[in-house]
Amino acid sequence: MIKKFFITGTDTNVGKTIASSILLKKAAAFGYKTAGYKPISSGHQKKTCNFLNNDATILKKSSSIILSEKEVNPISFFENAPPHILSKFQKKNIKKIELSLGLKNITKKSNWILVEGAGGWYTPLSDKETFSDWVKKEKLTVIIIVAIKLGCINHAILTEKAIISEKITCGGWIANNIFPKDKYNMYYIQTLLSYIKSPFLGEIPYLNNKNKINVKKIKIKLPK
């Protein structure tokens, strides 16, 4: 059975890629053939003569199967801005069929796939469609990454309600401590446990060095 999940966040810069990397490695440890997929990216880093998206690079390295950069990230934009705006400036329409074809290709090679979105749940792909429309079409199970900070409670509740309202399965949520813990962090998580009905998959501690992560020490459960 092939498992496919979509990673969304309560906002941009909440740690979707770090969480995806950890989940991919944990799934591989259970014997799955894992693959990270970033269908749309914006913002690149220069590496030799190529320009690579950092998120896509991390997903590629975290996958247990070998994938090309194009397979991991078929649609990319150089600047760091909302994809639908960049597509207008560059006259490069984002077509859902391209996203689906890329996913279908990876599905032939892997049996545990994480698809990382861009920004939050309703990130637009055009003036008429959002990322959520494609997720619904593909019937993907969604995992919410919640950055533990001021405002996260409202954002997390709204995100889960939006997902459920579209009759999409929410497989769980992960708390990500993007700042060093303060006295309120545990209360944020306790409050979220009261309001969020989807399974709590675990907590990512504040990471001083994101390049050296001991996955075994991070207590996160795989979604069902």
Catalytic residues: 38
Collapsing DSSP states into helix, strand and coil, what is residue 147? strand
DSSP state of 39: S
CB 141 within 8 A of CB 6: yes
Between the alpha carbon of residue 186 and those of residues 39, 175, 200, 219, the distances in Å are 34, 10, 14, 16
Report the C-alpha dihedral over residues 8, 175, 77, 86, rounded to 10 degrees. Answer: 60
- In the chain the first and final C-alpha atoms are separated, in Å, by 12
Which residues on adjacent β-strands are paired with residue 174?
145, 202
Contact 142, 159 (CB under 8 A): no
